[in-house]
A and B are shown apart, each in its own frame.
Chain A
Amino acid sequence: MILRLLKEDIRILMKKKSAWFALLLFLLIAGANIMFIRSEQPIANPYFEPPSAFEYFVSVQGGGSGFLMLFLPLAVTLATGDMFIRERRSSILSYSVVRANTKQYIQSRTVSLGIASFLFTFISQLLLFLGTLIFFPITQPSTDQGIVYYAANIFINNPWVYCFIIIVNSALLAFSFSCLSVIISIIFQNLYVSIMLPYVVFIGFSEILMSLPMFLGFQGALFYNLSPLSMAGDYITKSFHWIIVPIYWIFVGVISVKIATSLFNNRFEKEKLLLR
């Protein structure tokens, strides 16, 4: 059922104005971020080597002067964040539940929306990457660029693979974030709350974790590093093994699907889920 629903979600996504708007906004913000990074570069320094396309692509993700990590979840919200709540607020959910068993349905629905968000982000990031390749020199990243600490050896030795890893990491984040939207849409029935609250939770929860070092001292650094916002892009300035970030988001995604399933069944049993 996942594949069939995914096909439908992609079909709907292609026709959705807000999805195209999100893609355009994503590219515009990334473009603005690149211009901001360029504005910080030294002027009239003959020894300054212009960064490569790979460095620009990685720099905008987060950490230092990059701020795409803040916008990525918002882009996912604009593209797919309203899909489940609109279904829930209509008779479609009742019509769907009589066509499948509830567990199978909500699992397939959450995963298909997650994959649709994954693909949306993957394509958005890929377009951004292609853009940087078109506009900036495709040269080997500098060893003393001083930005990338996450899997730095891959970045230096194989920047193509590295950029692919970054794209996949963002797409995995989109999957998990989309699951969070489904969870919130199961709890709340208000359209605007269900669309915006996931972003507020994402930022709010990250801020809480990121403030823990203030109270816990050095031990709090782990919470800081593992906060969703940090794992959304700031991680490139952390010396993690490359596998840590994808594993983190896969773990969050799997847990989110399980929470969505059990919450959906619980609310269905209590007859608090469907329109009356």
Chain B
Amino acid sequence: MSEEKVLIFDKVDKIIGKHEILNDVSFDLKKGEVVGIIGSNGSGKTTILRLASGLSYPSKGTITVNGKVIKPGMVGDLPSGVGILIESPTFMQHLTGFDNLHYLAKIQDKIHKEDIHTALRKVGLNPNDKKKVREYSLGMRQRLGIAQAIMENPSLILFDEPTNGLDEEGKKLFGEIINEYKKRGTGFLFVSHSREEIQKFCDRVFKIEDRTLMLHKNLRNWFIVLQNLEDVEKVLQLKPHSRISERHNGNPVIILPNEGKEEVDTFFQNLGIQYQLLKVE
């Protein structure tokens, strides 16, 4: 993961009317990183996305995308682009999914029809489907929303409850999209009320507490490839909740449940054994 920062919130406040929604919010998002924000309903999660996308004005502080301080309403001027999916996406009902995306793509004219087809296929929609959006199910509309956010390969993608209405296949495709775009260096900012969803996809998690952001431990299951069985024994002794998984290329694999990334790294560094991260769930 590159240290290059895609998004920086610096001491951002947001006041709407007499209500303070956010207070002194600061965080950053690196290239290829997935950052999640959890919080209860009405805690200001969506407001953070609206601020990051330039659809809303910060009352105080600055927001930087790819080194440029964003001015609300001017995000489209950023050469790198920002993809958004905010709340339940609604489209022009009388048009097909492809027509909706084609219309949006023509605003910047950076991509061709084939790229829209590719984006639609990635989310499991048929690009040649003549069905109007009004006939789409909630899950199909959500998939279309994800396709519009990714189709122009923006450097920053903002997702609000992205798996809303998605079935298991849709969630699997979504996970594949995240992995693919992460490898390309795209930064993701996720907000969700679902801790499980956030923990599954995110490298770092923040929680909104009392109108500000607090770093939250992202506890996940880590699949670690070790060199030999002696190392496995050492780990099992020190981490009694860990368990053995299927071998990977002949090497033993151990699962460390409910751990944070920093804790895992520190644990193996202190132990002085060689390890390789296989996957995280």
Contacts and interface: CB of A to CB of B under 8 A. Distances in A.
Interface of A: 1, 4-5, 7-8, 11-12, 15-16, 86-87, 89-92, 94-105, 265, 268-269, 271, 274-275
A99 B108 contact: yes
A98 B76 contact: yes
B92 interface: yes
A101 B77 contact: yes
Interface string B78-108: 0001111011011111110001101110111
Majority DSSP secondary structure for residues of A touching B:
helix
Nearest to A103: B73
A98 B53 contact: yes
A99 B107 contact: yes
B84 A94 contact: yes
B55 A98 contact: yes
B99 A271 contact: no
B159 to A, nearest CB: 13
Contact of B109 (A4, A86, A98): A4
B92 A92 contact: yes
Contact of B94 (A11, A86, A95, A103): A86
B91 to A, nearest CB: 6
Nearest to B104: A95
15 contacts: A4-B109, A7-B106, A8-B103, A15-B99, A16-B94, A86-B92, A91-B86, A92-B100, A94-B86, A95-B148, A98-B53, A98-B82, A100-B77, A105-B107, A275-B90
Contact of B57 (A90, A92, A269): A269
B106 A5 contact: yes
A94 B102 contact: no
B104 A96 contact: yes
A109 to B, nearest CB: 9
A104 B100 CA distance: 20
A94 B108 CA distance: 14
A4 B107 contact: yes
A186 B56 CA distance: 17
A8 B94 contact: no
Nearest to B102: A8
Nearest to A99: B107
B145 interface: yes
B104 A92 contact: yes
Interface string B52-63: 011111000000
B87 to A, nearest CB: 8
Contacts of B76: 97-101, 104-105
A11 B76 CA distance: 24
B1 interface: no
B55 A90 contact: no
A12 B91 CA distance: 14
Contacts of B53: 94, 98
Contact of B107 (A5, A90, A274): A5
Top 5 nearest A-B pairs (CB, nearest first) are A102-B73, A100-B76, A99-B107, A90-B90, A4-B106
A87 to B, nearest CB: 6
A271 B57 contact: yes
A274 B75 CA distance: 15
Contacts of A98: 53-55, 75-76, 82-84
Q: Which of B53, B81, B93, B94 has the most CB of A within 10 A?
A: B94
Given A91-B87, A95-B148, A98-B84, 11 more contacts: A8-B106, A86-B93, A90-B90, A90-B92, A94-B55, A97-B54, A99-B81, A99-B107, A99-B108, A268-B72, A274-B55
A101 B107 contact: no
Nearest to B86: A94
Given A98-B84, A269-B57, A271-B57, A91 B90 contact: yes
Given A97-B55, A101-B77, A269-B57, A91 B145 contact: yes
A100 B100 contact: no
A98 B70 CA distance: 11
A97 B73 contact: yes
B180 to A, nearest CB: 21
B73 A92 contact: no
A132 B39 CA distance: 68
A103 B72 CA distance: 11
B55 A92 contact: no
Contacts of B72: 268-269
Contacts of A265: 73
Given A95-B84, A97-B73, A87 B104 contact: no
A24 B53 CA distance: 44
B238 interface: no
A125 B2 CA distance: 61
Contacts of B93: 86, 90
A43 to B, nearest CB: 49
A103 B93 CA distance: 26
Contacts of B54: 97-98
Nearest to A82: B94
Contacts of B95: 12, 15
A7 B106 CA distance: 9
B57 A12 contact: no
A97 B93 CA distance: 19
